[in-house]
Amino acid sequence: MNASRSGRLHGSRTRQSSGALLLNTARTLASSATGFASAATWLIFLSLLSSTTADDRVTLQPADGRGPPTQLTGTIIDYTGKQLEIDVAGQVRRKFPADQVVGVETKLTADHTAGDALYAKQDYRAADAKYQTALKADTRRWVRRQILAQLVRCARAQNGFAAAGEYFLLLVKDDPDALDFDSIPLAWLPGESAGIETKAAEWLAKEDQPVAVLLGASHLLQSPQAAQALPRLERLVDHRDPRISLLASAQLLRGALATTDDATLQRFASAVERSPAKLRAGPYYTLGRAWYQRNQPTTAALYLLRNPILYPHDHRLASESLLLAAEALNKTEQKTEAQRLARELATNYPQSRAGREVRSRAAEWSLELGQ
């Protein structure tokens, strides 16, 4: 997303004149439309109309998936996991399915932009502070949800899973179909649930909030309260929301890696490939760990390497996946490939737990790393 746009004032009078003409044309068409115009014709017309008030820019793929993307400009009213709603030239309001949206450009506050830059540098504490300020300054609900998702990621990266969970519940309360549902701070790695048993039990008790129950059960799965968490996860496997169903299945697998048979793993892997792509990072890591524990390092590495390739923005899972993939390839005597992964980990994720570990073991990996 762009924080600002420049060079748009010159010639504004000409655009305003053409905009008035287009608005009059729009009113005429709206009052006399016969319904014979194709969706593509209307989209092109609205694109021309909206260019007169270019606050936000949306790139849309055709509804039938054929042809090149089309850009539409105007003011986004809301953008949820179901649809994007936009005012074109302040006169024509259109709604598009979320899966038709290829990209969105909008003006962000300086703090939001700074937060994104700091997050990319893995300075999570500083990014968190910028996002907190941006959250107070931006009144657009759809942008505030994006900021909340980044606050979830910052808290999770700093092991603040209690805060991350509360941020996420605020996010899905405002939009149950949240675009950033993949930011849900479930436990995927050893030690991620330490110290939040009380908060997790509170989430587990929210029977009317399945997302909260999923969060609570995830973080209690390997605790003394596992007996309460397991049946909740088993019920969520049959939930009507496929996102919740998939993630509950993945959490059950995570808690039973040692006893799950190969056929069950393969069935789950097939289910993951049928699921929304954005939700696969945690399940891929779990599958990688499962095959690693079965002493099938090549299969393990194939699952693990999908995370740094497809989900590099998930710094925690991407870095841990790189480390375990490097360990797996080391087992197969693919020393050179293992070293390359270890070097990539140390270079791209130096602030992560896995990055610090590989740097501390530089001699073992025969790595020459700068400070």
Residue with tokens 């968190």: 128
Residue closest to 168 by CA, chosen among 147, 189, 183: 183
Of 37 and 181, the structure prediction assigns the larger pLDDT to 181
Choose which CATH entry (3.40.50.1000, 1.25.10.10, 1.10.300.10, 1.25.40.10) describes domain 109-184: 1.25.40.10
Residue type at 291 in one-letter notation: W
109-184 and 260-371: same fold?
Answer: yes
CB atoms within 10 A of CB 105: 16
Fold entry, domain 16-21+38-105: SH3 type barrels. (2.30.30)
CA 119-153-268 angle, 5° bins: 130
Residue with tokens 């740097």: 359
Tell me the C-alpha distance between 88 and 49, whole Å.
7
Burial, 135: exposed, middle or buried (Cβ in 10 Å; 0-12, 13-18, 19+)?
A: buried
Tally of CA atoms within 13 A in the half-sphere of 50 that contains its CB: 25
Residue with tokens 């390739």: 309
What pLDDT sits at residue 344?
A: 93
Tell me the C-alpha distance between 152 and 161, whole Å.
8
Is 55 in a helix, a strand, or coil?
A: coil
Domain boundaries, the chain: 16-21+38-105, 109-184, 186-256, 260-371
What pLDDT sits at residue 18?
A: 38
Does residue 76 contact residue 86 with C-beta atoms inside 8 Å? yes
pLDDT in tens, 202-229: 999 999 999 999 999 999 999 999 999 9
| Helix segments in the chain, DSSP class H | 12-32, 39-50, 110-120, 124-137, 141-157, 161-174, 197-204, 210-220, 226-236, 242-254, 262-274, 281-293, 297-304, 306-310, 315-331, 335-348, 353-360
pLDDT in tens, 143-159: 999 999 999 999 999 99
Alpha carbon separation from 102 to 84, 94, 150 (Å, rounded)? 11, 16, 20
Tell me the C-alpha distance between 88 and 90, whole Å.
5
pLDDT in tens, 245-282: 999 999 999 999 989 999 999 999 999 999 999 999 99
Tell me the C-alpha distance between 230 and 292, whole Å.
24
Q: Looking at the chain, how many residues does it have?
A: 371
Q: Is residue 30 over pLDDT 70?
A: no
Does residue 201 contact residue 211 with C-beta atoms inside 8 Å? no
- 47-51, 220-224, 267-271, 354-358 — which is least confidently predicted? 47-51
- For 308-336, letters b (16+ CB in 10 Å) and e give beebeebbbbbbbbbbbbbbbbbeeebee
DSSP string, 161-193: HHHHHHHHHHHHHH-TT-TTGGG-----STTTT
* Percent of the chain at pLDDT exceeding 70: 84
What pLDDT sits at residue 110?
A: 97
What pLDDT sits at residue 14?
A: 30
- For 161-196, letters b (16+ CB in 10 Å) and e give bbbbbbbbbebbeebeebbbbbbbbbbbbeebbeeb
Dig out the tokens for 283 from the structure. 């399940």
Q: What is the pTM of this model?
A: 0.82
Does residue 56 contact residue 104 with C-beta atoms inside 8 Å? yes
Mean pLDDT value across residues 302-331: 95
Q: What is the CATH number of domain 260-371?
A: 1.25.40.10
Tell me the C-alpha distance between 295 and 262, whole Å.
12
What pLDDT sits at residue 362?
A: 78
CB atoms within 10 A of CB 260: 17
Give residues with Cβ within 8 angstroms of 154, minimum separation 6: 119, 124, 125, 127, 128, 131
